[in-house]
Each structure stands twice: as C-alpha cells, then as structure tokens.
C-alpha cells in the first residue's frame, strides 16, 4: 500500500464564499484515525491569488467532546443570539449560485 493511500481515507470539501473548508479523515502508521479540519481563504495579491490556511487536528478521543461543543455553540447562536434569522436562506443563496433547476436557457 502506498503511503498516500494509507494516510488519507476520506475528504469532504465545503465552499463558503471566499472560504473553503476541508474535512479529511486520515490514518496513522499504526492504523489509528484522526480528522483534520482546514479553513482555506483566498486573498487577492498583485500577481494573482494567495491561499491562507488554518488547520485543526482532531483525534478520536476528542470527537464526542468537539462535536458536542460545536453543536452547543451553534445552537446558542441560532436560538439565543439570532433567533429571528432564517439560516436556511444561506443554503438557498449557495444553491442559486450553482448550476441547478433555476438556470433557464432561452
């Protein structure tokens, strides 16, 4: 088995405006698993674009604690701080920017 095949087992990309998030499942040499979460932001430079990346390593023993903390934080913002915001509207905006059923050819 090649080194690359052993390391990365799954990848999910989420585009969000100028940011892209990557969720990558990887394995260690001892067949243990962890997740890297990477935020990539594109910045305009004089001669093109530059990408700034920030990465978090999430180990299996922290999965449940991390998930619970993230879920609690998101719920707090949605329910306590911004209860009147329709968060599904952000999903519609993303769908409208992609090719889909709203595209009309005349």
Q: Answer whether residue 106 is part of any domain.
A: no
Q: Is the pLDDT of residue 84 over 80?
A: yes
Q: Answer whether residue 35 is part of any domain.
A: yes
Q: Is the pLDDT of residue 48 over 90?
A: no
The Cα–Cα gap between 87 and 4 comes to 38
Residue 14, C-beta contacts closer than 8 angstroms, at least 6 positions apart: 20, 21, 22, 23
Per-residue pLDDT tens over the stretch 64-77: 999 999 999 999 99
| Count of structural domains, the chain | 1
Q: Is the pLDDT of residue 105 over 70?
A: no
The C-alpha R_g of the chain, in whole angstroms, comes to 18
What ranges in the chain are assigned the alpha helix state H?
A: 3-7, 63-76, 88-97
Q: Answer whether residue 72 is part of any domain.
A: yes
Q: Residue 83 carries which DSSP code?
A: T
Q: Is the pLDDT of residue 5 over 80?
A: no
Q: Over range 55-64, report the average pLDDT.
A: 96
Q: Find the domain containing 80 and state its range.
A: 3-97
**CATH number of the domain bearing residue 79:** 3.10.450.700
For the chain, give the percent of residues with pLDDT over 90: 58
Q: Answer whether residue 103 is part of any domain.
A: no
């Amino acid at each position: 088995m090649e080194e690359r095949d052993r390391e990365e087992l799954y990848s999910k990309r989420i585009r969000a405006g100028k940011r892209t998030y990557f969720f990558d499942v990887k394995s260690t040499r001892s067949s243990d698993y962890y997740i890297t979460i990477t935020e990539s932001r594109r910045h305009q430079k004089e001669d093109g674009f530059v990408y700034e990346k920030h990465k978090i390593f999430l180990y299996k023993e922290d999965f449940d604690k991390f998930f619970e903390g993230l879920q609690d934080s998101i719920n707090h913002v949605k329910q306590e701080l911004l209860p009147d915001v329709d968060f599904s509207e952000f999903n519609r905006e993303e769908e409208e920017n992609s090719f889909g059923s709203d595209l009309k050819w005349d």
